[in-house]
Amino acid sequence: MHPFPHHYAVSIAAAPEGAVQIRGETLPEIHSTAPPEFGGPPGHWSPETLLTAAVVDCLVLGFRAVARASKLDWTSLEASTRGTLERVDGVTRFTRFDSSARLVVPAGTDPARARLLLEKAEKVCLILNSLSAERHLEVEVVTA
């Protein structure tokens, strides 16, 4: 790992109408629009879906690191997150992120330890730790 602080630069190009072009150094360009809930067209990434994706992606990548450091063997992980956007005290903000994860581990693996490591990954997720929203994680550990 590189020493802190880390910096992440993103640039945007936009016209009065249509998708916003999001660019990062050495990264593929992606496009976003307002979500349908705010009058945008369906079928596009939005700031809201990108943030929710960042939460679940951080959980999975964090779990990889925690499992590697803890020498936990695992076969697969499926995870999803649902972000809840609400208007609270006149401010629209995410109030909750509900995540679920299904972890498959080899026979002979302690399911309680695997669950604990997945919960640890959620607790150290830098994206969630940067947000004020509540969070909840539901875990299922399956032995292959």
Q: How far apart are CA 111 and CA 140, in angstroms?
A: 9
Confirm whether 56 is domain-assigned: yes
Confirm whether 122 is domain-assigned: yes
Please tell me the total number of residues recorded for the chain in this structure: 144
pLDDT in tens, 22-60: 999 999 999 999 999 999 999 999 999 999 999 999 999
Confirm whether 8 is domain-assigned: no
Confirm whether 2 is domain-assigned: no
Q: Are 67 and 53 in contact (CB under 8 A)?
A: no
Q: Which two tokens stand for residue 88?
A: 């609270």
* Domain that includes residue 129, residue range: 47-143
Q: How far apart are CA 120 and CA 102, in angstroms?
A: 15
pLDDT in tens, 93-103: 999 999 999 99
Q: How many domains does the chain have?
A: 1
CA 102 to chain centre: 15
Confirm whether 70 is domain-assigned: yes
Confirm whether 124 is domain-assigned: yes
Q: Are 102 and 140 in contact (CB under 8 A)?
A: yes
Confirm whether 12 is domain-assigned: no
> CB 36: neighbour CB atoms within 10 A?
12
Which CATH number goes with the domain that contains 118?
Answer: 3.30.300.20
pLDDT level of residue 1 (50, 70, 90 thresholds): confident
pLDDT level of residue 75 (50, 70, 90 thresholds): very high
CA 58 to chain centre: 5
User: Which residues 6+ apart lie within 8 Å of 67 measured at CB?
Assistant: 74, 117, 121
Confirm whether 30 is domain-assigned: no
- pTM for this structure? 0.94
